[in-house]
Structure 1
């Protein structure tokens, strides 16, 4: 999701603050953010109960390993016995990542879905970019939607106050075994739920995302001469990069901050923050280990292994498929395999597992937050809040259920047909009516990620599932979470996006030779004054309260 300008941060923060101020602080939840902090220092997260109605070919686990499905089930499971709604009108604010669907009044799929939900669902759809403005305008209005998706990375300030003033505290409804009343929500891991915790209370249903973070994915033809995209040390990786570079081929895409981010995992750099034995927090980019990763990237640059042009990532991925770039950085292993298949169906991308850079204490893999946010519920009486939770439970139905198929693909023969491998493929009608609505629903909440053969292009899709699952199994033992997930800092939402952008720009300038490495540490001395120490203090206070 795209970032925003400083002007947008200020405007959005003001809009949220105005929306909070205009609302009576009555109903579910306590009356102030300070009271919420004191209410529960050690929130009991929902019990993790994997859904057993559909058996995957490859099992998931609580640490984030994805389930794997090698074929489409011949018989689907009905996982929600009756419509969860009460016949009322329900509004959802969410973001879509595709063209918008046909409007509800002319959309047969939408109308059919509403019957299955048992409500008249209307969806307010923000776009990327643009969700920030849609969110601000909606919150500043007099009436909040029943369900509202809250992302962690779009600069939304005063979230704690907004939740306290306008949203239902659902802690008692989902904490511990209580979540078993919503089996699809119970199938989300505690790592998923932590992102919906603010000031020691649970405020919504998570929007799960793969647990794994950035990796290098490579073209196997390029790396064949170096015996594959793998290494046991920085020296070996550098040697292999040199070996495959030559003629019109370069080992790595040229966004240097990406290279440093991935290489930092080899040097044992923390995942965003590290909690010391004394309880102190250290930001990953201010560590000596991150500086070592920058120095290693400088070595790679001097060796001439980065592509010399300046393509955007979409163009870099195409160049990798064509063989002029050996490896690109991807958000996670699944994307690395999927993207190369799209651009070159005959190629199965190789994925670099972090290696140990001497003295780092072993490699680390930086796990993703595990979600792209959570969907909060507007304050109301307990009966309505429970009904809305049941709607979210329906929306989170997993692969292999009737509810998942109807939401994702619509009606058989009308909205989708089956390909030669037996997987659903949307028709032209399905693309117009189903695709955009599904995009918004799965942003709000969805079942935990799964490796499904139909995700991949080409005839080797079953092997792709097995290969990515095997890579995930290698990453799990070295995976480390960001310790601040589940803890909120207003300073973070205010200062982090600009600080992060400036830091990445400086990394790119240093590796390229435009600036000197000596400028790195002074940058962080100043960053402490410009918000880093403030966000550190707020996160540390929250962690101390929770006892983590």
Structure 2
């Protein structure tokens, strides 16, 4: 199987970042003073996003688009093109701080894939790889320690969701402003970077400047994934209302045989139920006024429906279940929540009939919604101790790592050396060998965080599954909503947003588990969220949006 997807379930499926927003005409509007006071909205500046130029690669069997629909290949494409004509490196080592969530890669001197990559790059790629399994704070701690120590690598990955603080000040002090190299048509010097969609580049822009290379990722957010066989006795996974879903789920519940309907991730389910009721993606903007999803009747309805499901015993009884996929595969669970890239990854590994359940109206007259992810896992910045004369070289290396599906470079990046790391079937499909799984999958994941291509769909020897996934994306995009604050910077969000959200999620979990009454949410949880972070975030975002759209 190819190594395009990340192993940690759900990681960054709905990742967020502080950047800017499109204001029309390809211009990205940023709010901030651009001086010593970082992250404010005292001034407005505009920067032109990198020009989007789709890569010239073999046509996919099912077309994608610049809004986030992934191109799909039912078989591995033939007649691959060469997107990089010569090794981009300059013979000098390139250092980078990055992360992984899988088994550590074999060391470079015992890793044929890594060694071959160095040859093809023309520079030795020296990676400091942080294994983030267990806690997102692991990478943040290493990142902060590296900054404090002062010995920064050439390339440094900035994750979008791990609570890094004072990012605008840090960027100005320690990293190169890449606006002159990437803004507008300047990016055309790096064709694979120009192939990255605009929505991904927003994560790399703060206070009117492009501070890094945007690492592309699938734009699809979290989804409900069902085992179709589980639902066959009640006619499948088509539901005409929340009550219809509930009634069918109750029919399938069999506690004696330990067959439950929902995994015990209460908060994830409440969010999906809220989409059935029409909840916004993060914030809703109406007449210049922002309302957070937490403050809406739709979100409360999602909690209430989840509580109803819990009282009916639809959730797996052990809240610490660690074998969700195994229970799904065995037919002991009917549905779970997954990031879309994680769902694709699972689809390559498992043979049980997975299906995305597209949000439906909870009741007649309701318009369901669904949330886009951010389409990026953050950005890679260049240490300002790197001479400016070397910036184009590093961007060319990132251009190589961004080679899309249909190129010779992507075949190697995802699958290593033919005969060593992968084999080709008569159909043309590419399959990793044991050595490929040991070297390519582990090494490539660490690389994927700081340099990658826009997502494409290809599941070896599973054309029907690929077709089904593409169809699901098409339907989801009809309902998709973009958070209007994406791309605007809020100091409060950076400092307190994650912890305040965690408190809300903990309370939601307590309510659904029956430890707190439903009234606890509106009487105590919501007012506290507003006091600690919500109202300040709203004010900062509203100021930024007002100034940024003038």
Q: Is TM more than 0.5 here?
A: yes
How many residues are treated as equivalent by the alignment? 513
Separation (CA, whole Å) in 1 of partners of 2:104 and 2:83: 28
> Is the contact between residue 230 and residue 353 of structure 1 (CA under 8 Å) also seen in structure 2?
no
* Residues 329 and 360 of structure 1: CA distance in aligned 2, closer, same or farther (over 3 Å): farther
- Inter-partner Cα distance in structure 2 for 1:466 and 1:413: 29
Q: Residue 218 of structure 1: CA displacement?
A: 1.0
Q: Relative to 1, partners in 2 of residues 1:127 and 1:495: Cα closer, same or farther, differing over 3 Å?
A: same
Q: Is the 8 A contact 2:39 2:489 kept in 1?
A: no
Find the partner of 2:237 among 229, 237, 240. Answer: 229
Q: Is the 8 A contact 1:321 1:340 kept in 2?
A: no
1:360 CA drift (Å): 7.1
Q: How does 1:352-363 map to 2 (within 5 A)?
A: 352-358=357-363, 361-363=366-368
- Aligned mates of 1:474, 1:315 — CA distance in 2: 29
Aligned to 1:342: 349
> What secondary structure sits across from 1:68 in the alignment?
coil
Q: 1:71 and 2:75 equivalent?
A: yes
Indicate the residue corresponding to 2:538 in structure 1. 536
1:167 lines up with 2:175 in the alignment:
yes
Residue 31 (structure 1) shift: 5.7
Name the CA shift for 1:307/1:341 in 2 (closer, same or farther; >3 Å).
Answer: farther
User: Is the CA contact 1:218–1:327 (under 8 Å) kept in the aligned structure 2?
Assistant: yes
Q: Structure 1 pair 46/412, CA: closer, same or farther in 2 (3 Å)?
A: same
The 3 A distance-change label for structure 1 pair 193 and 339 is same
Cα distance in 1, alignment partners of residues 343 and 413 from structure 2: 26
- Structure 2 length normalisation: TM-score? 0.87
Q: Which piece of structure 1 moves more, 212-221 or 101-110?
A: 101-110
Q: Map residues 12-411 of structure 1 onto 2, 5 A cutoff.
A: 32=36, 34=38, 41-128=45-132, 129=135, 130-246=138-254, 247-248=256-257, 249-277=259-287, 279-312=288-321, 314-332=322-340, 335-336=342-343, 338-339=345-346, 342-343=349-350, 345=351, 347-358=352-363, 361-379=366-384, 380-411=386-417
- SS of aligned partner of 2:334: strand
Query: What is the CA distance between 1:2 and its match in structure 2?
Result: 11
Q: Deviations over 1:263-291 (max 9, x none)?
A: 111111111112221x2222211222111
User: Are residues 1:414 and 2:416 paired?
Assistant: no
Name the TM-score, length of structure 1 as normaliser.
0.87
Equivalents in 1 of 2:348, 2:112: separation in Å?
33
Alpha-carbon separation, structure 2, partners of 1:542 and 1:386: 32
Alpha-carbon shift at residue 123 of structure 1 (Å): 1.0
- Closer/same/farther in 2, CA of residues 36 and 512 from structure 1, 3 Å limit: closer
Following TM superposition, by how much is the alpha carbon of 1:428 offset from its aligned partner in structure 2, in angstroms?
Answer: 4.0
Distance 2:519 2:283 in 1: 23
SS of match in other structure, 2:378: strand
Matches of 2:408 and 2:301, distance apart in 1: 51
Q: CA deviation at 1:33?
A: 5.1
CA distances 1:371-419 after superposition (whole Å, capped 9, x unpaired)? 1111112224543222211111111001221211222222221233235
The verdict on how the C-alpha distance between 1:78 and 1:99 changes in structure 2, with shifts beyond 3 A counting, is: same
SS in 2 for 1:452: coil
Call closer, same or farther: CA 1:43–1:387 in 2, change over 3 Å: same
Distance 1:179 1:262 in 2: 38
Deviates more, 1:492-501 or 1:415-424: 415-424
| Bigger RCO (CA 8 Å, 6+ sep) | 2
d(CA) in 1 for partners of 2:226, 2:451: 31
Secondary structure of 2:457's counterpart equals: strand
2:47 counterpart SS class: coil
- The aligned counterpart of 1:501 is 502
**Per-residue displacement from partner, 1:334-385 (whole Å, max 9, x unpaired)?**
5346536634x1x221221111234875111111111111111222454322
CA distance in 1, matches of 2:498, 2:356: 29
Asked whether the 8 Å contact 2:270–2:306 carries over to 1, the reply is: yes
Q: For 1:96 and 1:141, how far apart are their aligned partners in 2?
A: 22
Distance 1:464-1:342 versus aligned 2 partners, 3 A rule? same
> 1-side partners of 2:186 and 2:478: how far apart?
30
The CA distance in 2 between the partners of 1:282 and 1:119, in whole Å, is 49
Compared with structure 1, are the counterparts of its residues 423 and 98 closer, same or farther at alpha carbon in structure 2 (3 Å cutoff)?
A: farther
Unaligned stretches of 5+ residues in structure 2: 1-7, 11-32
* Bigger helix fraction: 1
What is the match of residue 485 of structure 1?
Answer: 486
Cα deviation per residue 1:86-117 (whole Å; 9 max; x = unaligned)?
A: 22232111112222323234444323322321
Cα distance in 2 for partners of 1:546, 1:43 equals 11
Q: Deviations over 1:168-219 (max 9, x none)?
A: 2122322222222221111111111111111222111122222111221111
SS, match of residue 271 in structure 2: helix
Structure 2 counterpart of 1:20 = none
Question: Measured at CA, do residues 205 and 37 of structure 1 come closer, stay the same or move farther in structure 2, by a change above 3 Å?
Answer: farther
Give the match for residue 24 of structure 2.
Answer: none
Shift of 1:39: 7.6
Contact 2:221 2:371 in 1 (8 A): yes
CA–CA separation in structure 2 for the residues paired with 1:326 and 1:107: 40
Measured against aligned partners, the alpha-carbon deviations of 1:10-66 in whole angstroms (never above 9, x if no partner) come to xxxxxxxxxxxxxxxxxxx97635599778623222222221223211111011000
Q: What residue number does 1:21 align with? A: none
Query: CA offset at residue 431 of structure 1?
Result: 3.9
In the alignment, the residues of structure 1 paired with residue 124 and residue 278 of structure 2 have an alpha-carbon distance, to the nearest angstrom, of 51
